[in-house]
Amino acid sequence: MIMPILLIVYYSFLDIHGNFTLANYQKFFTPVYLKMTLSSFWYALLITAVSLLVAYPTAFLLTRTKYKQLWLLLIILPSWINLLLKAYSFIGIFGTYGFANALLEVFGIGKKQILFTDFSFIFVSVYIFIPFMILPIFNALDKLNPSFIDASRDLGASGWTTFRRVIFPLTFDGVKSGCQVVFIPALSLFMLTRLIAGNRVITLGTAVEQHFLVTQDWGMGSTIAVFLIISMVIIMLLTGNKKRGGVG
Amino acid sequence: MKKKSLSTIYLTIVFLILYAPIFYLMYYSFNSGGKMYEFESFSLEWYKDLFQNTRLLIIVLNTIIIALLSSAISTILGTIGAVGIWHLKKRQTKNVLLSLNNILIVSPDVIIGASFLIMFTIVGIKLGFSSVLLSHIAFSVPIVVIMVLPKLQEMSSTLIDAAKDLGASNFNVLTKVILPYITPGIFAGFFMALTYSLDDFAVTFFVTGNGFSTLSVEIYSMARQGVSLTINALSTILFLFTILLVIGYYFISKRNGRIIGLGARK
């Protein structure tokens, strides 16, 4: 199963006629591709940050509800619906006559172009990734011993200090694995860029797909894929912790 | 008290946003006008349309066949793999294999898709049913391994010693002791593989040739052409089907004692 990945590395050294070359790597370091890589990272970073901002309070509040396992299941449930269908639904909601625009009309803002903008791209991506961010944070918070919080409060710490000094550091592992499972796929998203962002946003994943299936330049596509793999490994090293044995 | 109501409001908003798109789709699937706005009147014509669209129904059938076949095969392979990894004496080889397994789970679909496209072309497998099936098996096996392995690890070694002392052969130990013990893990792995396979878009998109397509790929090409309420009708049915699957999964993991986490495959 490792063989296909080695094949990608091999292909990244071939040009479009199958000759051995380093030209693809030279091409990757030209401004066009570097800019694309940077913007891809920027979008992935934004998506991860926004998901974290929404997911942390959600997970935190969830651990404080009754029947929390059931609520958690309800949060995860939408992530089992086919991804394409959710993206398709947003085409309707964000469309010119869709629900979002109708809402804007009510508030007196008026119709806006929402589909095919950065906003819609980030919103939909966050929507899709949020369950994957909530889950590890929820698990980390759930394992947290409540007596730590009581102790901190008894010692006179304010709510905010308790959060900053006790709760957040103790759940940091969950945050890290959440970031990992959001950031890596966010780098390689490609159908969302087509459907929601209308080709305005080009991620590394879109570029790979483009080179493989549209321009048929497998060499260049593989080169980008190699960089995608490298960034993936770097992110895994940065966010990995030794204890974690897998996805669970 | 005020704090409590604030948190309820926050959670409600999150839930609303999470479910809004799904119900939005379902709501308009009953619209007699052909658009996803201006609800005209209740009608079932899109459902009728859906069931008369034989091409789409064949694609649905294909998707289900691929999902069932690939998850069954990968459950067998993954269980063998997990038992193999668990049986390894050397710690180092074990860790190497496990991290390779993890890399395969985390690696983006685009990469898996692209690499399989290259491999199938080199080996000469025609793109279509078999290539999609093979790639689905390939990305499901690591998932099954991850689900089965914890069960093996929590099994006490005295169980096996006892069986051996009582004169059981290696084969007997495997079929009478180990397999029954890890059955819940195997089921969870099967369900996981099934949902991943049903949900997969990116990998299939790469390795599917002309003439063969699964549901995700078909929805993608339909959605690129614009809104069609047949998709809405389809999604309503799929949603109900998914809920059934989740209920099944829920009861299995209930027996397991906890809800097992999801990966991040998109």
pLDDT at res. B74:
93
| B25: three-class secondary structure by DSSP | helix
Q: Is the predicted pLDDT of residue B22 greater than 60, yes or no?
A: yes
DSSP B43: -
Would the pLDDT of A128 be above 80? yes
Which is nearest to A181 in space by CA: A241, A232, A138? Answer: A232
> Which one has a higher pLDDT value, B39 or A89?
A89
Mean of per-residue pLDDT scores for chain B: 81
Give yes or no for B13 touching A (CB within 8 A): no
Cα(B77)–Cα(B44) distance, integer angstroms: 44
Identify which of A79, A98, A130 has the shortest CB distance to residue B262: A79
Q: Of A29-33, A132-136, A241-245, B87-91, which range is least confident? A: A241-245
Write down the domain spans for chain B. Answer: 1-43, 53-256
Mean predicted confidence (pLDDT) in A52-65: 88
Mutate to test the interface with B, among A80, A91, A187, A209 (most CBs of B within 10 A): A80
Contact with chain B for residue A109, Cβ under 8 A: no
CA A81 to CA B243: how far, in whole Å? 9
- Nearest CA-CA partner of A11 in A26, A29, A24: A24
Q: Contact at 8 Å (CB) between B197 and B140?
A: yes
Q: What was the ipTM of the complex prediction?
A: 0.75
**Poorest-pLDDT segment among A137-146, B35-44, B123-132, B166-175:** B35-44
Percent of chain B with pLDDT over 70: 90
pLDDT for residue B130 is more than 70: yes
Q: What percent of chain A has pLDDT over 90?
A: 4
Residues B141 and B143: their CA atoms lie apart, in Å, by: 5
pLDDT band, residue A50 (cuts 50/70/90): very high
Residue that wins the pLDDT comparison between A135 and B38:
A135
More confident site: A105 or A165 = A165
Q: Which of B257, B214, B239, B230 is nearest to B60 (CA)?
A: B214
Q: pLDDT at residue B264 above 50?
A: no
- The full length of chain A comes to 248
Predicted pLDDT at B88: 81
3-state secondary structure chain A: CCHHHHHHHHHCCECCCCCECCHHHHHHCCHHHHHHHHHHHHHHHHHHHHHHHHHHHHHHHHHCCCCHHHHHHHHHHHHHCCHHHHHHHHHHHHCCCCHHHHHHHHCCCCCCCCCCCHHHHHHHHHHHHHHHHHHHHHHHHHHCCHHHHHHHHHCCCCHHHHHHHHHHHHCHHHHHHHHHHHHHHHHHCCHHHHHCCCCCCCCHHHHHHHHHHHCCCHHHHHHHHHHHHHHHHHHHHHHCCCCCCCCC
pLDDT of residue A4: 63
* pLDDT beyond 60 at B18: yes
Check residue A241 and give its pLDDT.
Answer: 52
Residue A146: which residues within 8 A CB-CB, separation 6 or more? none
pLDDT of residue A48: 92
Q: What is the mean pLDDT of residues A76-82?
A: 78
Contact A212 B98 (CB under 8 A): no
Looking at residue A101, its pLDDT comes to 74
Interior angle at CA A119, CA A113 and CA A122, nearest 5: 145
Ranges A178-182, A215-219, B80-84, B161-165: which has the least confidence: A215-219
- Residues B53-256, CATH architecture: Orthogonal Bundle (1.10)
What is the CATH code of the structural domain delimited by A20-81+118-239? 1.10.3720.10
Strand partners, B101: none
For an interface test with A, give the residue of B3, B17, B35, B106 to mutate (most A CBs within 10 A). Answer: B106
Q: What is the pLDDT of residue A190?
A: 76
Q: Average pLDDT, whole number, for chain A?
A: 79
Q: What is the mean pLDDT of residues A96-112?
A: 72
* Burial category of B236 from C-beta neighbours within 10 Å (exposed 0-12, middle 13-18, buried 19 and up): buried
DSSP state of B216: H
What is the spatial distance between Cα B238 and Cα B195, in angstroms, rounded to a whole number?
A: 12
What percent of chain B is predicted at pLDDT more than 90?
7
DSSP secondary structure code for residue B210 in this structure: S
pLDDT, residue B254, reads: 66
Instruction: Tell me the residues of chain A between 12 and 51 that have a Cβ less than 8 Å away from chain B.
Output: none
Question: Residue B68: what pLDDT?
Answer: 93
Task: Taking residues A54-77, report their average pLDDT.
Answer: 83
Are A80 and B109 in contact (CB < 8 Å)?
no
Query: Strand pairing partners for B42?
Result: B31
Instruction: Note the pLDDT of residue A5.
Output: 66
B59 touches chain A (CB under 8 A): no
pLDDT score of B8: 83
Label residue B65 by pLDDT band (50, 70, 90): very high
CB-CB contact of A8 with B115 (8 Å): yes
Read off the pLDDT of each residue in A212-237 and give the average, rounded to a whole number: 82
**Residue B152 pLDDT greater than 60, yes or no:** yes
Question: Residue B83 has what pLDDT?
Answer: 87
Distances from the Cα of A20 to the Cα of A12, A225, A229, B73, angstroms: 9, 18, 21, 38
Question: Do residue B25 and residue A248 have CB atoms under 8 angstroms apart?
Answer: no
d(CA A183, CA B37): 34
Task: Identify the sign of the CA torsion A90, A92, A98, A101.
Answer: positive
**Residue B236, amino acid:** T
Which of A54, A87, A89 is the closest to B22 by Cβ? A89
